[in-house]
Structures are given as structure tokens and as C-alpha cells.
């Protein structure tokens, strides 16, 4: 993002750039971007201190209808020209405030991220934490799905999909040319196999205009348009903001090209899913506290941080892999890491210590279980609190496992704990293990109870009530 600016600076920007509309964005509890728009005449310096009203009762995870009035307070430092609209529009990310108390709203995900950063400072363990998530995604040509009393289906299609190798024509017209990545062979093929490079490049260009630093982009392993854009690390709240803008821009750029982008963890059967490997480190007095003289040049503090991540991983996944579809990806023996272990270089461990560059500034932990359906404000905050709990309580994760954890014998594998295999299991784990999240009042009991109730009522129960299409294949002739 741009350097911190004031409300007065934003007003000047609106005038200087001929802005016609201001888009106020915020994030609901599950992690979906919401917005409303106001004209320039409504933008005063008071807007950045007093906010503007909205009805919170219709926002997922927010207030009950009898406590619906809420305030959106724009963060001036997030001001950027928005490329999505034809009308010249300025975008601002907002914090949410309770109009009666004047305090930040306890269920606002961004407020929780701010509190996590403040708690790190108050702990004395560090001044800042840095975060570098790797978001994967699919760009399809079409997606259809429905569920009714007598029918349930989904259908996705991609001209890149290997299942279209026998098609006479390409999606959108023209003869089929046969260049398509096979299952699990989509990592780095050049055009004409990779047909989506220009769309990813366009997304990178627009992200950079938003101040998001981008490291690289490429096709990912799966067929049918899987990709990845790697953004450069930043502080916790800033990175969560960047993740939300990343998803917003990519979805809209894909739509502009007549395609659809999704961050769903497992939209394809039989090919790789979509993760959000999350790199993280703690810094103090300008130095990386994770660098030391231990295994893979990690410090004792970093080792204990890993211990906290591994100990609390089942509860963490309620925020970091928060959908029923997340557990189509987190399956033992397939591509996603499910073993609660750590290692240098070994990508089959939940916690990896990247070894591209072995320098003090580059030392970090890569937690590989999360996926991009996570609300980044909540997921990053929860991971930080788990790591801090590990450091404070000196939680030892044991010895590293520098073998391919997928190739262990049954006897060896039995000694390696794995992450839970379903959303209901990680919600139960969160219910049983959340004291570490209450430290510093970062998360509140109310928010955790709201999260558990929302997920169970709106996701788990509806899934249980509906027949699955594959059940007809298994049981219709019983």
C-alpha cells in the first residue's frame, strides 16, 4: 500500500484525480469482501474519525437485528484507485466501530489483526511479525452448480482441462489444438500450454498499482488453469489487506475476460488442490528473532514457535482451513501436508523451513496447512498467537523429520500425528483449545462462540442434510 496518509490527503487525491465515487470496503466474519459506495460530497475529514453508518444485522457473523447500527471508518492509508469500475472510483478499506460505545467492534476481523500486532509488542518478544502467504487459485471458463430437493450437481469447465483433449473445438470457438497440461503436470509449462499468463500478468500489474509488491506468478501443478501469484511479505494487517485485494482483483480481472477465478481448496477431483502456504517470522529491534545456530540455522525462539503451531494446529485449522471443502485437500497420502512435523526443505511436513537463501533476513517458518478460503485477518492472528504461546511456554516440537513423510512405513507413520480430517473435528478442537487465542484479549469468547455456531449451523448441518452425488453411485442399487 501507499505510505500512511491522512483524511485530508485523501480528499486532495479525490479532487486532483477527478474521483467520481468512493468505494468503502470491509470484510465479514467468514472472510468475504463487502462494500458500499459514497459520492465525493460525503467525504470530509470527519469521515475518517467518525465514520458512516450501515446495517450490520445483514452481515454474516455480525450483530443481531436489535443491535444492527454500526459505523464504517475508512483507513486513509489504504486509499487506492480501483480498476474494477468504469466510473472513476477510489477504494478504501474500513474498520468497524460500535456507535454506542465508540469502540472498535469486537467481531471486526481487521480489529482482531490490529490487536494481534499490539499483543506481540506488549509481549516483549518482537516489534513486528512479517507474513508472506502463497495463494493458489483456479481460473475456469465456466462454473455451474445447484442443489434442490430432487437434484444436486456441479459442473466446471476449462479449455485447459485435459478432459477436453478430445474436443473438436476449443471453448469459445476455433479448432482444438491439443496443448493441455495433463493431471499434475501443470507446473511451469510455457505457452501455448499455459493459456492464462496474460491474465495473471494483468492481475500483477493491477496489484502493483495498489502498492502490493509481487515476487512472481506462474501456472500451478493442476490441469485446467491452476495458478499462483506470490506477493512479497509485509506486516500482519497489511498482508491481510493485500490478500483481500489480491482475491478481489483476480476475480474481477478473470470476469472481464469471460472467465471465473476461484480460491476453493478442492474444486477438481483427482488433481492438486489449492493452498495458502503461509510464511511468517518475528522481528525485534530490526533483527529477525528466528535466525540462530540451531537446526537449519533456526533460533530456539523459532523452534518454540513451531512447537506452538504444531500443538495448536487442530484448533488453528478452524480458522486457517475453515471449510468442509478444505478437507478434500488435507487428505493423508496426497499432495497436501497433513503430518504434524517440521523440516528443512521437506514439503511433506506441515512446518517447513525454506532453504532458498540461508541468511538472517530470510529465516522463516512456512505453515503449509492453510488455504485461501481462510479469513486472513483471523488466520494470521491465530497463527501468531499459537507461535507466541509456544515461545512463552517453551513448547518443544521434538526432532525434525528429514524424510519423505508420505513414504514412511505403516509402523513409522503411526508415530507421526496428523491434522484432523474434517471441519467438524477442527471446530471441536477449537472449542476444546482456545485459551491461547484469548491472550491479550485478541480473540474474545464471543467471537469464538460466534464462529463455532456460524460454521456448524450454516456449513456443517446443511452438508449433513443433503445427499452427495457419489452416494447414488455407491448405494442406489442397494
Active site residues: 55, 134, 136, 220, 228, 277, 347, 366, 368
Question: From the centroid of its chain, how far is CA 20?
Answer: 31
Give the distance, in angstroms, between the CA of residue 45 and the centroid of all CA atoms in the same chain. 32
The alpha-carbon radius of gyration of the chain (Å, integer) is: 23
Strand, coil or helix: 368: coil
The 10 Å Cβ neighbour count of residue 103 is: 10
Comparing C-alpha atoms, which of 286, 276, 278, 296 is closest to residue 363? Answer: 296
C-alpha cell at 211: 502498492
Q: Rounded to whole angstroms, how far apart are CA atoms 89 and 367?
A: 36
Is the CB of residue 453 less than 8 Å from the CB of residue 30?
no
Residue 84 and residue 249: Cα distance in Å, rounded? Answer: 7
Report the run of H or E that residue 151 belongs to, with start and end: strand 151-157
The secondary structure of residue 212, as a DSSP letter, is -
The DSSP element (H or E) to which 380 belongs, if any, is: helix 376-392
Note the Cα 308 to chain centre separation in Å: 20
Q: Is 406 helix (H, G, I), strand (E, B) or coil?
A: helix
Three-state DSSP class for residue 216: strand
CB proximity list for 128: less than 8 A, separation 6 or greater:
117, 120, 235, 282, 283
Beta strands in 1-68 (DSSP E): 21-27, 33-38, 52-55
Among 400, 381, 358, smallest CA distance to 448 is for 381
Beta bridge partners of 353: 344
Kind and range of the H or E run holding 366 = strand 365-367
User: For residues 305 and 166, is the Cβ–Cβ distance under 8 A?
Assistant: no
Closest CA to 173 of 186, 160, 161, 159: 159
Most distant CA pair in the chain, distance: 71
**Rounded CA separation 235/217 (Å):** 21
Residues for the chain: how many in total?
Answer: 478
Amino acid at each position: 500500500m501507499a505510505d500512511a496518509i491522512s483524511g485530508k490527503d485523501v480528499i486532495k487525491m479525490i479532487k486532483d484525480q477527478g474521483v467520481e465515487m468512493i468505494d468503502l470496503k470491509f470484510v465479514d466474519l467468514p472472510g468475504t469482501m463487502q462494500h458500499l459506495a459514497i459520492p465525493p460530497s460525503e467525504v470530509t475529514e470527519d469521515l475518517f474519525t467518525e465514520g458512516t453508518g450501515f446495517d450490520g444485522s445483514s452481515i454474516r457473523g455480525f450483530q443481531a437485528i436489535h443491535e444492527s447500527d454500526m459505523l464504517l471508518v475508512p483507513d486513509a492509508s489504504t486509499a487506492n484507485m480501483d480498476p474494477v469500475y468504469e466510473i472513476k472510483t477510489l477504494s478504501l478499506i474500513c474498520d468497524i466501530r460500535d456507535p454506542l460505545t465508540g469502540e472498535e467492534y469486537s467481531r471486526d476481523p481487521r480489529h482482531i489483526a490490529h490487536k494481534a500486532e499490539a499483543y506481540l509488542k506488549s509481549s516483549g518478544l518482537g516489534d513486528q511479525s512479517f507474513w508472506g502467504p502463497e495463494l493458489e487459485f483456479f481460473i475456469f471458463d465456466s462454473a455451474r452448480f445447484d442443489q434442490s430437493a430432487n437434484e444436486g450437481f456441479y459442473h466446471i469447465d476449462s479449455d485447459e482441462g485435459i478432459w477436453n483433449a478430445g474436443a473438436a473445438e476449443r471453448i469459445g470457438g476455433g479448432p482444438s489444438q491439443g496443448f493441455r497440461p495433463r493431471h499434475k503436470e501443470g507446473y511451469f509449462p510455457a505457452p501455448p500450454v499455459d493459456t492464462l499468463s496474460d491474465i495473471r500478468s494483468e492481475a500483477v500489474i493491477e496489484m502493483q498499482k495498489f502498492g502490493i509488491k509481487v515476487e512472481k506468478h506462474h501456472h500451478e501443478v493442476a490441469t485446467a488453469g491452476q495458478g499462483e501469484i506470490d506477493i512479497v511479505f509485509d506486516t500482519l494487517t497489511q498482508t491481510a489487506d493485500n490478500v483481500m485485494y489480491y482475491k478481489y482483483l483476480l476475480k474481477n480481472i478473470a470476469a472481464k475476460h469471460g472467465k471465473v477465478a476461484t480460491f476453493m481448496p478442492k474444486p477438481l477431483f483427482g488433481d492438486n488442490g489449492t493452498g495458502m502456504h503461509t510464511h511468517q517470522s518475528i522481528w525485534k529491534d530490526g533483527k529477525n528473532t528466528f535466525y540462530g545456530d540451531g537446526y537449519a540455522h533456526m533460533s530456539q525462539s523459532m523452534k518454540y514457535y513451531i512447537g506452538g503451531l504444531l500443538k495448536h494446529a487442530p484448533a488453528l485449522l478452524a480458522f486457517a482451513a475453515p471449510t468442509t471443502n478444505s478437507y478434500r485437500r488435507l487428505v493423508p497420502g496426497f499432495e497436501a501436508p497433513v503430518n504434524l512435523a517440521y523440516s528443512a526443505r521437506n514439503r511433506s511436513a506441515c512446518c517447513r523451513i525454506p532453504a532458498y537463501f540461508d541468511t538472517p533476513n530470510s529465516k522463516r517458518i512456512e505453515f503449509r496447512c492453510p488455504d485461501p478460503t481462510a479469513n486472513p485477518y483471523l488466520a494470521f492472528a491465530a497463527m501468531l498467537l499459537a507461535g507466541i504461546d509456544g515461545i512463552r511456554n517453551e513448547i518443544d516440537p521434538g526432532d525434525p523429520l528429514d524424510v519423505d513423510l508420505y513414504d514412511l512405513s505403516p509402523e513409522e507413520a503411526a508415530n507421526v500425528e496428523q491434522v484432523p480430517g474434517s471441519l467438524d473435528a477442527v471446530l471441536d478442537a477449537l472449542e476444546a483449545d482456545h485459551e491461547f487465542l484469548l491472550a491479550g484479549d485478541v480473540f474474545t469468547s464471543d467471537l469464538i462462540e460466534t464462529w463455532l455456531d456460524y460454521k456448524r449451523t450454516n456449513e456443517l448441518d446443511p452438508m449433513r442434510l443433503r445427499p452427495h452425488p457419489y452416494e447414488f453411485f455407491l448405494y442406489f442399487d442397494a
